[in-house]
Structure 1
Amino acid sequence: MPLDYPLCIVRHGETDWNLEGRLQGQQDVRMNGRGRDQAEAVGRLLLQHAPEVLGWDFVASPLIRTRDTMELMRAAMGVDPKDYRLDPRLKELTFGSWECSTWDDVKRSFPDLAAKRKADKWAFCPPGGESYSMLSDRIADWLVDVKKPTLAVTHGGVARVLLGLLTGMAQVDLPVEDIKQGRALMFEDGKARWI
């Protein structure tokens, strides 16, 4: 999917659930102290290495960890922390009834489903949740509305499907792609690079 404008993606800062391997999905989990530091650090990185983003459209997932990341990042950039908009399409994929569980919990309680997910992470849909394929459709819908250079604070799953949509990365590789916290992923001319 071609994009006419540069797009910068920032994953929210670390939460305690990230550390525990707990499935957050669309649960409203706050960042921990390290996550708050990461949010400020990415603001300073962008100011130093991509100051052009200051004039871009700023948008975030409405979950608290992304809103807090956006506001801390913008404050570190020296701009109004509250001057951004929200878009619910940027929410993380939902793990449905598995949210709040750890992967170990899921493997123990649902061994057959865990094995199906392992066999095809892209297409697998947890009970009451979304697959990466479904998330990709939601994010493709959002991309249609990107009409100017944009910086979005969102989630690991969203960044993974954007790698597929905008760079052509293979679907089999996307669900295991490492999406860093405290860094920014810049998409431009069909390529992605970390800042």
Structure 2
Amino acid sequence: MAEAIYLLRHGETVWNRTRRIQGQLDAPLTRLGTEQAWAMGESLRPLLGGERPNLQVSTLGRCRQSAALVCEAAGLDFDSAEFLPELMELHFGAWQGLRKPDLRRQQPELWARREADRWSFAPEGGESYAKASRRIADWLERIRSLPGIVVVVLHGGTSMLARGLYAGLAPAEIVTQDFPQDAFYRLAAGTVARFETGI
């Protein structure tokens, strides 16, 4: 495995603020989101020790926008980034674009099924965590051969999967992890460490 893997979730988006499910749709960063991304870059910079990491980014716009800010703040070369579709957020099918409070009210039985088994449940036309875990596991296996440090800008769901699979957590533990936008994680030597940005 690479010496260290840093996992950074994109900053807050307009849809995050209104509790709307994005999945593989997209929304721009809010002002707070741009500040969060910049703060992650500033916090990351001293941890890299001047090393030029491999930079991997989800292809979705909110991650591209966040990665550009992270790179500027951390002194990294955005043009060196590799954009990977396998890092995209889970596809939430028919639920994409809907607000979580509305879903709980309008589809209470489906929402209850999801809460009872978040690992295996998938909305109509969507992707379960179980299914998405396979693409993240394949990605983790591929980056074993990369030298040095890897910096990754991705999403809440795919970050949870990457951290959980790396740490060997059970499915029920993976889906209950935190997925902050004001902190990031380092996977190294079999451990997962969290770094706060102070935002």
TMscore range, shorter length: over 0.9
| 2:42–2:73 CA contact under 8 A, matched in 1 | yes
Aligned to 2:26: 28
Match of 2:40 among 27, 36, 42: 42
Residues 100-130 of structure 1, C-alpha deviation per residue, up to 9 Å, x if partnerless? 1111221222222111111100111111111
SS in 2 for 1:193: strand
| 1:53–1:151 CA contact under 8 A, matched in 2 | no
Q: Point out where structure 2 has 5 or more consecutive residues left out of the alignment.
A: none
Aligned to 2:119: 122
Aligned to 1:159: 159
| 2:20–2:97 CA contact under 8 A, matched in 1 | yes
For 1:166 and 1:190, the matched residues in 2 are separated by 7
For 2:188 and 2:74, the matched residues in 1 are separated by 22
Q: Point out where structure 1 has 5 or more consecutive residues left out of the alignment.
A: none
Stretch moving more, 52-61 or 136-145: 52-61
For 1:94 and 1:5, the matched residues in 2 are separated by 30
Task: Using structure 1 for the length normalisation, give the TM-score.
Answer: 0.93
Letter in 2 for 1:139: I
Aligned identity (percent) is 35
| 1:61–1:88 CA contact under 8 A, matched in 2 | yes
Match of 2:61 among 60, 64, 68: 64
For 1:136 and 1:53, the matched residues in 2 are separated by 32
SS in 1 for 2:12: coil
Q: CA RMSD, aligned part only?
A: 1.5
Match of 2:94 among 94, 97, 102: 97
Count, aligned residues: 192
